[in-house]
Structure 1
């Protein structure tokens, strides 16, 4: 398993309270652009009331990428991911643009 430590050169907002996690990016009108939302704890997401697609990077407690979902469209769901502790919601295309890989460790 790759143990490369990576950073994502975006401004990442932390959603670590009940209400911040509940709200997430719902109802936001403007797409993400070089920014993201780190939802912790979180092992599944929904795209209800979303106005744009995102890339979702699920991390273990240690920050290791355990699953990635590219170009997740509004009104879709990601079921709970085994070993996922948090998720970073990023602009669609980020996973390819930064060549992220399962097993890499993300430092925020």
Structure 2
């Protein structure tokens, strides 16, 4: 027994294609694909990645990854705080003495500067700016290819020291794919 399908379900589509023509339909479809592709690209470039950093082989920090210009610029700005075991890992393509600032920060932090899998510098007591004051700027003493920002007091609580290992397992979103 053969089942026949009604052509009625296709009539609205065929009618609209006849109205705008095949070229119009192709143009609309192309614009839709471009819009979706643009949104996906912007999400990838502006979104934070995720992962973990393990310090000295024992301390695990759950991190958001800032690997694009936009995520590195945004960093922790405007946030109310960080959980004790969390941080933001800023990744760069090559080790340099990158300058960081405390723009729009609302809580104190510390920074662990990393190069080639080792802690190369530590920054303590990085305070948010007082009302009407310019934000504090801080740089490492040694070039670094990654910077891990953590809550104030983290370095002392976990006995983090220069020369200790620092390994990252991250998904590298934020423009590095």
With the length of structure 1 as denominator, give the TM-score of the two structures.
Answer: 0.85
Counterpart secondary structure, 1:95: helix
- Give the conservation status (yes or no) of the 8 Å contact 2:117–2:166: yes
4+ long deviations beyond 4 Å: none
Aligned equivalents of 2:110, 2:144: Cα separation in 1: 15
Residue of 81, 84, 97 corresponding to 1:31: 81
**Unaligned ranges ≥5, structure 2:** 1-54, 129-134, 169-177
Gaps of 5+ in 1: none
Q: Does 1:83 align with 2:143?
A: yes
Aligned-residue Cα RMSD (Å) equals: 1.8
In 2, the alpha carbon distance for the partners of 1:27 and 1:53 equals 12
Q: Contact between 2:114 and 2:144, CA under 8 Å: does it hold in 1?
A: yes
Normalized per residue, which structure has more helix?
2
Deviation at 1:83, TM superposition (A): 2.0
Paired residues, number: 103
The TM-score, its normalising length taken from structure 2, stands at 0.54
Judged with a 3 Å threshold, the aligned counterparts in structure 2 of structure 1 residues 7 and 88 are, in CA distance, closer, same or farther, namely farther
CA contact (8 A) 1:36 1:90 kept: yes
- Offset, 1:44: 2.4
Q: Is residue 2:63 matched to residue 1:8?
A: no
Higher relative CO (Cα under 8 Å, sequence separation at least 6) belongs to 1
